[in-house]
């Protein structure tokens, strides 16, 4: 069922659109644009959906942080795309800054503002850059499924510590995640980053599932929905019974 929905989503997203780079042959990383008037019409339509929704959940990916000069992974100039093609970021003209120095983009700020006025009720993100946290969104209002470079926690008592530095820089062994610090309870602190083949933190995953299940509207920003289980959350809950609005399309069409 998911594969059928994924195929339908791809066909819908690229219908009647113009490739941003006509020379790009890989359809999996191609970006598209459309007429300004059409885009404005769709933005207004999405705005109405949000206004009518009693419960809206936002799902974000690396694409919303490119405006903060943090490269994405799968785009035409994404980290993995360039790596596979043997091209350096400098050769591709990609602007980048360390995550510790990056600032929230207008998209991050807009999400925070919509939360403040109760139009967005929860956030689920696969980003580890901490920009949602920097924008002012509380830990209780979001689930960062892949962790946050500014957060370390205690696996014994569950207490979290938010730092101003990248806590992964002091990790000696990525497999044990130990940062070198100690919790108030005496147990070692660990970073919260989820590496490949590691299980997600059940606390955040379970809450993300719960919040997604309650959502009437899902806004999907800056992600191609390639990574499970995050890509399955957007098809859960009340949203699947009503009209879904995937704003990953809008994020692809324009810089928000």
DSSP 8-state class, residue 157: T
- Comparing CA positions, the residue from 125, 151, 142, 7 lying closest to residue 62 is 125
| CA atoms of 54 and 70, how far apart (whole Å) | 33
DSSP secondary-structure letter at 197?
T
* 179: three-class secondary structure by DSSP: strand
Catalytic site residues? 146
- What does R_g of the chain's alpha carbons equal in angstroms? 19
Contact 250, 43 (CB under 8 A): yes
Rounded Cα distance between 70 and 102, Å, is 7
């Amino acid at each position: 069922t998911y594969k059928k929905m994924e195929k339908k989503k791809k066909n819908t997203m690229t219908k009647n659109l113009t490739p941003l780079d006509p020379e790009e042959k890989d359809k999996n990383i191609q970006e598209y644009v459309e007429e300004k008037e059409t885009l404005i019409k769709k933005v207004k339509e999405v705005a109405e959906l949000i206004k009518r929704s009693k419960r809206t959940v936002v799902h974000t990916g690396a694409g919303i942080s490119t405006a903060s000069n943090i490269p994405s992974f799968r785009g035409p100039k994404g980290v993995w795309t360039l790596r596979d093609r043997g091209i350096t970021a400098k050769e591709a003209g990609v602007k980048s800054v360390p995550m510790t120095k990056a600032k929230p983009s207008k998209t991050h700020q807009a999400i925070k503002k919509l939360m403040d006025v109760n139009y967005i009720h929860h956030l689920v993100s696969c980003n580890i850059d901490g920009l949602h946290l920097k924008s002012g969104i509380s830990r209780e209002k979001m689930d960062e499924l892949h962790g946050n470079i500014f957060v370390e926690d205690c696996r014994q008592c569950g207490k979290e510590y938010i730092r101003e530095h990248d806590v992964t820089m002091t990790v000696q062994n990525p497999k044990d995640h130990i940062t070198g610090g100690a919790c108030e309870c005496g147990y070692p602190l660990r970073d919260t980053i989820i590496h490949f083949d590691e299980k997600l933190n059940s606390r955040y995953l379970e809450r993300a599932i719960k919040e997604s299940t309650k959502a009437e509207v899902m806004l999907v920003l800056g992600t191609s929905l390639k990574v499970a289980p995050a890509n399955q959350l957007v098809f859960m809950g009340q949203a699947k019974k009503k009209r879904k609005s995937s704003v990953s399309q809008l994020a692809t069409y324009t810089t928000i």
